[in-house]
């Protein structure tokens, strides 16, 4: 008997199944602004200052953005953003 139920099998993150441009465009505006800041190489603190929000709020938007893109690492999110821009 398996410890993992059959209904909980690993699935491909939905971010890899969709067009990068569609994924990035589907982000809420604030998550998109945070992604743009990350791609520009800015820190959470610098992004927060630019947007007039707290660094903790940037962390929340960043986590939501990563989940929506299906990215496990920031590098994955940056790759998607660059592919979407191309």
Q: How many domains does the chain have?
A: 1
Q: Is residue 7 domain-resident?
A: no
On whether residue 23 sits in a domain, the answer given is yes
CATH number of 51's domain: 1.10.10.10
28/77 Cα distance (integer angstroms):
15
Task: Give the domain range for residue 73.
Answer: 18-85
Residue 4 lies in a domain: no
C-alpha distances (whole Å) from 57 to each of 9, 10, 35, 43, 66 are 33, 30, 13, 13, 14
Q: Name the CA dihedral angle for 41, 47, 49, 55, rounded to a multiple of 10 degrees.
A: -120
Mean pLDDT over each residue of the chain, to the nearest integer = 85
Q: Is 73 within the bounds of a domain?
A: yes
Does a structural domain hold residue 68? yes
* pLDDT one-digit tens code per residue, 16-41: 557 889 889 999 999 999 999 999 99
> Could you tell me if residue 10 is inside a domain?
no
Whole-model pTM?
0.77
């Amino acid at each position: 008997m398996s410890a993992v139920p059959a209904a909980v099998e690993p699935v491909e993150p939905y971010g890899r199944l969709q067009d990068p441009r569609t994924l990035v465009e589907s982000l809420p505006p604030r998550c998109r602004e945070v992604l743009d800041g990350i791609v520009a190489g800015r820190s959470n603190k610098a992004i927060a200052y630019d947007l007039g929000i707290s660094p903790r709020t940037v962390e929340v938007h960043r986590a939501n953005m990563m989940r929506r893109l299906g990215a496990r690492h920031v590098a994955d999110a940056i790759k998607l953003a660059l592919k979407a821009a191309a």
